[in-house]
């Protein structure tokens, strides 16, 4: 089993070594499985349970003070499942798998997704706050005037220097103290057993997004994609990733005959030209070739083959 994982594309972390250790453990955990779906699910579980990443425990906080998680999962026969806007769900990737395997649907959202998780034995009602997010939230003065007040408040912090509601670098505007150094630390995994491929991505969203915001992660072709040619997981400025269907773009380049690493680099170059934003991708192709690329300050990855 080959497994490649990422811990998000964004600013350089203050503590890369402990984060790298978690990524290595995630890759090792996934590579011990015999099925690619099990491999990406279990690898992502490790990352969702670590407060060092923006997924599961330690996820970003939305404008109303709640944490909601999203995830997507796909196989090379194009079976797909996604779930989003789930308060209290640590292992969002497992809910995505339930959607894929147990329902006739591809995407379920909100409280209904939480109910589905509960019905299939996935733990709900989990405290997803970490010490870091509690401290950051406590330092803020959140508005109490409803959605419009929240929107005005987060717009100053989320980024609004262009008509699309973001600055062209893909970073948040506002003072540095308003920015979360883990803002783009979405997690993901791709796996290949020599025959079958799978991809999964999981996130807690983006720091100080409007309550209910859903980014690229659970959108097939944007935050994740898998075809007979390649499995891809993306991370970064979610709205822009969705606009250009970044993960599908990577897979398409592999389908055209490019090597995994070349396909990843080309897709990121195209993404930057089209959006001016930052992102990263990991890819594993049907030849067992690993690839990754990013145009942010950093993107930590780990791989393991057994």
Q: How far apart are alpha carbons 291 and 260 in whole angstroms? A: 5
* Sheet with strand 290-294: strands edge to edge: 224-226, 230-236, 279-285, 290-294
β-partners of residue 87 are 68
β-partners of residue 136 are none
Q: Would you say 211 and 63 are in contact if contact means Cβ atoms under 8 Å apart?
A: yes
Copy the structure tokens of residue 182.
């883990």
Question: Catalytic pick from 186, 201, 245, 278?
Answer: 186
Per the annotation, the verdict on 289 as an active-site residue is no
String of DSSP letters for 127-185: ----HHHHHHHHTS----S-HHHHHHHHHHHH--SSTTSS-TTSS--S-GGGS-TTTT-
Q: In the chain, at which residue ranges do the beta strands (DSSP E only) sit? A: 2-10, 68-75, 80-87, 107-109, 187-192, 197-203, 224-226, 230-236, 279-285, 290-294, 298-305
Pairing verdict, β 230-236 and 80-87? unpaired
Copy the structure tokens of residue 155.
């717009």
Q: DSSP state, 220?
A: B
Catalytic residues: 186
């Amino acid at each position: 089993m080959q497994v490649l994982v990422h811990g998000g594309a964004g600013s350089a972390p203050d503590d890369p070594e402990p984060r790298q250790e978690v990524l290595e453990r995630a890759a090792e955990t996934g590579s011990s499985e015999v099925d690619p779906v099990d491999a990406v699910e279990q690898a992502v579980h490790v990352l969702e349970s670590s407060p060092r990443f923006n997924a599961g425990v330690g996820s970003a906080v939305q404008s109303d003070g709640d944490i909601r998680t999203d995830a997507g999962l796909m196989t090379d026969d194009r079976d797909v499942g996604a779930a989003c806007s789930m308060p209290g769900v640590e292992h969002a990737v497992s809910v995505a798998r339930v959607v894929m395997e147990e329902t006739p649907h591809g995407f379920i959202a909100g409280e209904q997704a939480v109910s589905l998780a509960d019905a299939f034995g996935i733990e709900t009602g989990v405290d997803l706050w970490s010490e870091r997010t509690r401290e950051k939230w406590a330092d803020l003065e959140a508005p109490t005037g409803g959605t419009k007040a929240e929107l005005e408040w987060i717009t100053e912090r989320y980024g609004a220097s262009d008509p699309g509601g973001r600055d062209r670098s893909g970073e948040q505007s506002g003072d540095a103290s308003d920015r979360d150094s883990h803002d783009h630390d979405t997690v993901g995994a791709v796996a290949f057993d020599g025959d079958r491929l799978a991809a999964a991505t999981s996130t807690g969203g983006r720091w100080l997004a409007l309550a209910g915001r859903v980014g690229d992660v659970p959108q097939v072709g944007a935050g994740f994609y898998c075809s007979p040619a390649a499995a891809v997981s993306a991370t970064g400025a979610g709205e822009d990733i969705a606009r250009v269907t970044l993960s599908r773009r990577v897979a398409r380049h592999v389908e055209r005959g490019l090597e995994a690493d070349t396909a990843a680099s080309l897709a990121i170059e195209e993404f930057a030209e089209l959006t001016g934003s930052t992102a990263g991708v990991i890819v594993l192709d049907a030849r067992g070739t690993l690839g990754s690329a990013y145009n942010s300050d950093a993107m930590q990855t780990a791989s393991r083959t057994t």
